[in-house]
Structure 1
Amino acid sequence: MIGNLIKTDLVLGVRSYVYPIYILIALAYGLMLMVFPEQYLPTMVPVFLVLEPGLVGLMFVGTEIFAEKKDGAIGALAVTPIEWRSYIFAKTLLLSVLSIVGAILIMVIGTSSFNGILYVIIGAFLCSIVYTLLGIGISAKYHDLDDYFVPILGVMVLSLLPFVHYHGYLTNEIWKLLYIIPSYPALYFFKAPFVEISGNTLIWSGVALLVWSVVAYYIAKIRFYKYAVEGLR
């Protein structure tokens, strides 16, 4: 069932140019990074890596859900044997795989190197799962991108704050609360190709992203069913 949903979603995403645009954005990010001097790459590459699998994915999954609401695809979940849970899993898995492709393009084109690519792949995959599920949960209530813009903007601002804290610009103790934002543990994976990150830090970062994945799944499950499936009956 999930395999068929992934195949259908992939075909629709390619036909609507959503997924090709997603990959083109990653390509554009990689080309943009080539302009930066090498000493700036350890700072700029992680920013672009979070933007691609996380925040761009958040926007794209919302756009997909709006389109599928309008053409009745989501409404069909309420009257067909297809489980809405399978729909969530299929979309999350597909976008997570696409995020890996995008992250590899950004890293390899931007740095002209495969060094640390495994860290990037793991971070992109886990980060994408979290933000895709959050995107499904948040966008389920809305019907177009105009309404979704404010939540996207809020998530983007919060998700970029860990970069500011990591580089020492937010020094008050209260800013340690930023550690709970999912982009913070993802940041350690994206910094690992450039600076030494301890194994324990990476393990705990992975655990944090897995915990966030569970939380985001329950948010997506509850809100998607309430607003997108049950709300269209």
Structure 2
Amino acid sequence: MIGKLVRTNLIIGVRDYAYPIYLLIALAYGLMLLAFPREYLATMVPLFLFLEPGLVGFMFVGTEIFAEKKDGAIGALAVTPMEWRDYIMAKTLLLGGISVAGAALILTVGTRSLDGIPYVLAGSFLVSIVYTLLGIGISAKYRDLDDYFVPIIGVMVVSLLPFAHSHGYLTGEIWKVLYLIPSYPALYFFKAPFEEISTETLLLSGLALLAWSALAYHIARTRFYRYAVEGLR
């Protein structure tokens, strides 16, 4: 069932130009990086890599949920014997795969190199899973992008704070709480092409993102069923 849902979502996403636009955004990021001197790439590439699979994916999945509510697709699926976890996982895996393709475009075009690409692809897939699931869970309550705008801004601001902290802009013991934000462990994967990151750090970062994925899945499953399927307000 998940495989069929992935194929259906892919066909719809390509037909509606959503996924081609997603990849064009990644290509645009890569081309923008060419304008930066090479000494700035270690700062800018991780930022762009996170924006694509993380925040862009968070916004894209929300708009998909809104569209499927309005055209009655979710209502129609509600009367089928389909498991809703299959629906959620299909969207998550598809956007995870597209995020990997987008990250590969950003890195290869922006740096003209394949150095560290396994770390980047792994980090992109994991962080995409987290933010796609969060996007499903949070957007389920809203009816359109206007209502979803405030959560988007909130998630964007909070998720970008670890980048400021890692570059020394936020100092003090209190800012160590930022290590709990999923964009922080993702940052280690995205920095790996430019600096030495220990295997232990990457392993712990991967485990942190997996833990976040489990939490995000619980949020997505609970809120999506409550608001999108049952229609509670």
What's the TM-score bracket when you normalise by the shorter of the two chains? over 0.9
1:123 paired residue number = 123
1:129 aligns to what SS in structure 2? helix
Letter in 1 for 2:203: I
C-alpha displacement of 1:13: 0.5
2:26 paired residue number = 26
Q: Distance in 2 between matches of 1:198 and 1:95?
A: 28
Q: Please list, as runs of the form range in 1=range in 2, the aligned pairs for 1:52-131 lying within 5 A after superposition.
A: 52-131=52-131
Q: Distance in 1 between matches of 2:213 and 2:121?
A: 16
Q: Please list, as runs of the form range in 1=range in 2, the aligned pairs for 1:1-233 lying within 5 A after superposition.
A: 1-231=1-231
C-alpha displacement of 1:207: 0.3
Q: Distance in 1 between matches of 2:231 and 2:113?
A: 48
Q: Distance in 2 between matches of 1:71 and 1:81?
A: 20
After superposition, the CA RMSD in angstroms is 0.7
- The alignment-based identity, stated in percent, is 75
C-alpha displacement of 1:76: 1.9
1:77–1:83: 8 Å Cα contact kept in structure 2? no
Letter in 1 for 2:210: L
2:76 aligns to what SS in structure 1? helix
C-alpha displacement of 1:169: 1.0
Q: Distance in 1 between matches of 2:83 and 2:195?
A: 44
C-alpha displacement of 1:77: 2.7
1:96–1:128: 8 Å Cα contact kept in structure 2? yes
C-alpha displacement of 1:78: 1.9
TM-score, normalization by structure 1: 0.99
1:53–1:100: 8 Å Cα contact kept in structure 2? yes
1:195 aligns to what SS in structure 2? coil
The C-alpha deviation readout for 1:187-206, integer Å capped at 9, x for no partner, is 00000100111111100000
Letter in 1 for 2:68: E
Q: Distance in 1 between matches of 2:75 and 2:217?
A: 20
The C-alpha deviation readout for 1:94-123, integer Å capped at 9, x for no partner, is 000000000000000000000000000000
Letter in 1 for 2:60: F
Q: Structure 2: 5+ residue runs without aligned partners?
A: none
The C-alpha deviation readout for 1:21-58, integer Å capped at 9, x for no partner, is 00000000000000000000000000000000000000
Q: Structure 1: 5+ residue runs without aligned partners?
A: none
Q: Distance in 2 between matches of 1:71 and 1:83?
A: 20
The C-alpha deviation readout for 1:113-156, integer Å capped at 9, x for no partner, is 00000000000000000000000000000010000000000000
The C-alpha deviation readout for 1:65-86, integer Å capped at 9, x for no partner, is 0000011111123211111110
TM-score, normalization by structure 2: 0.99
